[in-house]
Amino acid sequence: MNGKDFSKVLIVVVITFIIYNLIFPYNMKHYLAKFYVRTGMNCQKAELYDLSNLFLINAKKITPDRKTWYDYNIALNLRSKFWGAPMTSYKKKNLETALEYLNSENKNFPDHLHILEEFAHVYYQLEDYDKAVEYYEKCIEKDPNWVYGLSQLAHIYTLVKRDYEKSNEYVERALPLTNDKDNLYFRKAYNYSGLENYEDAAKMYERYLRNNPNSVAALVNITSCEIKNKNYDKAEMYVDRGLKLNSHSSYLLKSKVKLLIHKEKYDEADKIIEEMISRDKYDGYIGYYLKGISAKKQGNYEKADKYFKLSKENAQEYYDKYCEKSYDLSDTDGNCSNRFEFLEDFEEDIQKPVEL
């Protein structure tokens, strides 16, 4: 078939398709709705999700009594549009609308796995983690091999509920089901740290770093573990690797300074600290906190108290400015110590001798 014949055939096909869909308008809207659902999911653009829902809603009006999965796809678009976005009143309203569509679809297809999955995702985005756990667990009952669901449960139990043992149970269930194990190794390492099992945490971070040698997050965490394990040479190796990748990481600089203080290289430590203090309130309060540790290590307790006070003042300003909730750091009763790693270290270093 030459080019001209092909063009004629293509024109006939297009004209036939248009005439067919003018006679049967439901089909046109149905195909367009499906097309934009797929396009929205592939392109990850908010306007395409909106356009997809425009066609879905119109298609639904033509056949309101048909079981078409339109409500599910409308909810899917509303949820996908905001995945990873910060919580706002606009996002919350759209996600609550998504729940309404899911409840409607659930009447047509009661407790269908896809609908339960979408409920779980929406509740997760709404930060209603108890509901999210409820629905993720319902999904796992129907599909015990759903790795993403197991990973999400591990994530929630680690970062929200702080139940590290429960999180590791889900990690262990997920590991044999996937070849992509690295993120699960990272989660397991994080959980070991939460359980203060720093030796196993360090081993698991090492395993993660084999395939992800440039992960600054893993280098930050393994450095902290090796400091806790008193493996200072290893800690220094990891912190230096991390600083080559990100020389401005506050977490790595904090560990580097602690290691310099351990070696009694106070001048080198002080240079890094002064640079941190000059940056902003966040690095500033960490810098004054490190100055306090250094002064205490050198036996200058009056200076240490002064720097710890400055650190808390800077920390209070930082949290007042950047956190949605207000945290009172004026006392040292430990009420906030589980909320911020800084405060855990802060209380420990003020009340106990410096061990580095």
pLDDT, one tens digit per residue, over 164-174 is: 999 999 999 99
Choose between 19 and 191: higher pLDDT.
191
At residue 61, does pLDDT exceed 80? no
The Cα–Cα gap between 19 and 13 comes to 10
- CA 83, 55, 73, 14 dihedral sign is negative
At residue 17, does pLDDT exceed 90? no
The Cα–Cα gap between 93 and 73 comes to 17
Range of the domain at 54: 1-108
Residue 229 pLDDT: 94
Number of compact structural domains in the chain: 1
Mean pLDDT score, 262-285: 89
Residue 341 pLDDT: 46
Among 27-31, 53-57, 197-201, name the one with the lowest average pLDDT.
Answer: 27-31
CB atoms within 10 A of CB 42: 9
Residue 227 inside a domain? The answer is no
The Cα–Cα gap between 6 and 142 comes to 49
- CA 277, 279, 285, 290 dihedral sign is negative
Residue 284 pLDDT: 84
| Mean of per-residue pLDDT scores for the chain | 80
Give the highest mean pLDDT range of 1-5, 63-67, 147-151, 336-340: 147-151
The Cα–Cα gap between 274 and 288 comes to 9
Q: Tell me the pLDDT band of 155, cut-offs 50, 70 and 90.
A: very high
Residue 86 inside a domain? The answer is yes
Of the candidates 131, 134, 112, 196, the one whose C-alpha atom is nearest the C-alpha of residue 162 is 196
Residue 98 inside a domain? The answer is yes
Residue 6 inside a domain? The answer is yes
At residue 205, does pLDDT exceed 60? yes
CB 344 within 8 A of CB 337: yes
- pLDDT, tens digit (0-9, with 9 covering 90-100), for 75-133: 877 787 777 777 888 889 989 998 998 998 899 899 999 999 999 999 999 999 999 99
At residue 136, does pLDDT exceed 80? yes
Residue 356 pLDDT: 33
Residue 115 inside a domain? The answer is no
Residue 70 pLDDT: 72
Residue 186 inside a domain? The answer is no
Residue 125 inside a domain? The answer is no
- pLDDT, tens digit (0-9, with 9 covering 90-100), for 229-261: 999 999 999 999 999 999 988 889 999 999 999
Using DSSP, state whether 143 is helix, strand or coil: coil
Residue 328 inside a domain? The answer is no
At residue 2, does pLDDT exceed 90? no
CB atoms within 10 A of CB 2: 6
> Model-level pTM greater than 0.85?
no
Mean pLDDT score, 159-164: 90
Q: SS3 letters for 96-136? A: HHHHHHHHHHHHHCCCCHHHHHHHHHHHHHCCCHHHHHHHH
257 contacts: CB under 8 Å, gap ≥ 6: 269, 272, 273, 290, 294
- pLDDT, tens digit (0-9, with 9 covering 90-100), for 263-273: 999 999 999 99
